[in-house]
Amino acid sequence: MKFFLDTADITEIRQLAALGLVDGVTTNPSLIAKTGRKMSEVITEICAAVDGPVSAEVTATEHGAMLAEGRTLRKLAHNVVVKLPLTAEGLRACRDLSEEGILVNLTLCFSPAQALLAAKAGAAYVSPFVGRLDDVSHDGIGLIADILEIYDNYDFSTEVLVASVRHPMHVIQAAKLGADVATMPPSVLRALINHPLTDKGLAGFLADWAKTGQTIL
C-alpha cells in the first residue's frame, strides 16, 4: 500500500518525507486555504519536497473551466495530479484530460457506482471517503471492499485511493482489503508509527544498558 499525506503543510510534509514512508500528497481547496498562501506556490513547493504524485484540485465546476484549471495546475510540476469532483462535469473533464496524458484523481466518491464511472472515465485514482461515510452511519470500509471487487472483475487500472482517513484502523482495514493507496493526515501516520509498548520496551532496554556503563562507539 502506498501512503500519501493529506495536507498542505510543507513543514509536516518535509518532516515525514524524511522517514522514507511518504509516497505522495493530496491537497484540496480547504487545505490550501488553511495555509493562507497562493495555491500555485504551495503546490510547487510540495511537488519539490516529494518525488511522488501530488493531487491539486480545481475549484471550477463547469467542464470547460475545469479543463483550463487542470491544464494550468499540471504545468506547475511534472508530478501534479489534477483532482476533479466526481460529478457529470468532472467525469467529462476527466476523460478529456486523461486523453491528453494528464493524470486525474476523481474525488468525493461515496458509492460503488461512482467508482465504476471514474474507472470508465479513465481516472488514474478514485478517492472514496471512508470517514465521512462513517460519520453518517454508513460503512466506509465496506465501500472500499465493493469498489475493489468491481475493479478486479474488469481489471481496471484506476487505483483506489482511500481518503477521509480518521484513524489507524481505517488504514489497516483498507490494507487488508488490498487498497492501492491511503491518504491520511500527518497525525494518523504518526499514530501508525507510535505504540506505547514499543516506548515502554525501549525505555527498559536503555535503562538496563545504562547500568553497564558501556558505550557502543
- What is the set of active-site residues? 83
Joined together, the cell numbers standing for residue 140 give 466506509
Phi (first) and psi of residue 103, to 5 degrees:
-75, 140
Q: Are the beta carbons of 189 and 16 closer than 8 angstroms? A: yes
Residues 6+ apart with CB under 8 A from 188: 165, 166, 167, 168, 170, 171
Distance of CA 141 to CAs 26, 46, 78, 149, 208, Å? 20, 29, 32, 13, 44
Which of 158, 180, 184 has its CA nearest to residue 169?
184
Task: Please give the Cα distance from 14 to 54 (Å, whole number).
Answer: 14
Instruction: Provide the total of helices (H) and of strands (E) in the chain, helices listed first.
Output: 11, 8
| The residue to which cell 489507524 is assigned | 168
Cα within 13 Å of Cα(201), Cβ side: 5
